[in-house]
Structure 1
Amino acid sequence: MDTLEKPNMSLVILLTVLGVVFATDNININNRGNDGGNVHQTVNIDNHDQVANINQYNGWRSWHSIWDYGNGFFAARLMSTRACVVSRMNRNAVPSLEELRKSTQEAPKANAPPPRTLTYTVTQTRVKNVKQFGSHIESLCKGVPTFYAQETQGAGLFVNMEGCTDLGILRFLGISLCGKIGC
């Protein structure tokens, strides 16, 4: 009669820890837009590469974004303009991967304050070498014109808000990309 060996507990613990460290979180969220329409967003978090993919599916106003925490950049590919916008992450304003994961699992609070909004001015200069932003952003922006954006402080005072594209990241961060985006 065969006997079953007890698993090596050290190996079991190591594999469990690795499973947690390299875990990928996939979150699907259906939001009701301000206009009453449905907006479907997905969030995929890769803890190993320190990258979050956030996508919004909303017809012509759809967009896909990469938040590369390791390299400190984010990029958004806008379907309506057929262009990409890349900028540095404001680590003081953007939630960490852990905060992002936690906030997607919580129910919206009835009396929650409005989300923080960051405004970026998009330059008209095209990025010549998208590889400099890392392989994840390169993959997102490959084949489309890519522009750099700079965060604008005091946006309400200095930026004409016409021509802005709004990216609402779930219920905790609003991003406005202002300026002529695309060719």
Structure 2
Amino acid sequence: MKALILIAAILGVSFATDNVAVNNQGNDGGNVHQTVNINNQDNVANINQYNGLHSWNSVWDYQRGVFAARLVSKRACVVSRMNKNVVPSLEQLSKATQEKQNPNAPPPRSLTYTVSQTRVKNMAPYGSQIEALCKGVPTFFAQEVQGTGLFVNLHGCTDLGILRFLGISLCGNIGC
């Protein structure tokens, strides 16, 4: 009986989390490796991109409606609210990781954020996972840019591509 409980517990944990690795060949011929870990129980996704100096790690907390990205090259973290009208749900993320890339698919949707120069002093409201991600590096808040003046005064952008269906640009003097 104890063995059945142990097996059920192990299976329950494995069903609660999806782990996926995606390898992409970049336009410059470089290799980009991206992993997606989904914790359905906590409504959190961890997305990591391994690409040398352009690597980044992110936590997407769907319950709180926030995400954070730790940018290796900038030695900084950026936290912002999720645009739930554009950001894929956990179910969509999980489904997309199981599908082959369609060469005829439409280009990914994109979001642009401006990063403030004011440091976030209290990370507690963003949850323990985002707090852990950003621990030890300066953290800045970003706000989504919308409207016709989108590209006015945006400089120093860092681009994050979430799988094949969402592009994010974090613009401003991050970490400076």
Question: Aligned AA for 2:119?
Answer: R
Question: Are positions 1:78 and 2:71 aligned together?
Answer: yes
1:19 deviates by 2.2
Match of 2:119 in 1: 126
Partners of 2:29 and 2:123 lie apart in 1 by: 37
Partners of 2:55 and 2:149 lie apart in 1 by: 25
1:159 deviates by 3.3
TM-score normalised by L of structure 1: 0.87
1:98 deviates by 0.4
* Native 8 Å contact 2:155 2:173 kept in 1: no
Partners of 1:161 and 1:39 lie apart in 2 by: 26
TM-score normalised by L of structure 2: 0.90
* Native 8 Å contact 2:53 2:72 kept in 1: yes
Change (3 A) 1:88 1:37: same
* Native 8 Å contact 1:22 1:46 kept in 2: no
Match of 2:141 in 1: 148
Give SS of 1:138's match: helix
* Native 8 Å contact 1:120 1:178 kept in 2: yes
Where structure 2 has 5 or more consecutive residues not aligned to the other structure, the ranges are: none
Question: Aligned AA for 1:47?
Answer: N
1:36 deviates by 1.7
* Structure 1 segments (4+ residues) deviating >6 Å: none
What fraction of aligned residue pairs are identical, expressed as a percent?
74
Moved more, 137-146 or 152-161: 152-161
How many pairs were matched up? Answer: 171
Partners of 2:148 and 2:120 lie apart in 1 by: 24
* Native 8 Å contact 1:119 1:155 kept in 2: no
Question: Aligned AA for 1:61?
Answer: H
* Native 8 Å contact 1:121 1:150 kept in 2: yes
Partners of 1:100 and 1:48 lie apart in 2 by: 15
Partners of 1:140 and 1:117 lie apart in 2 by: 23
RMSD: 2.0
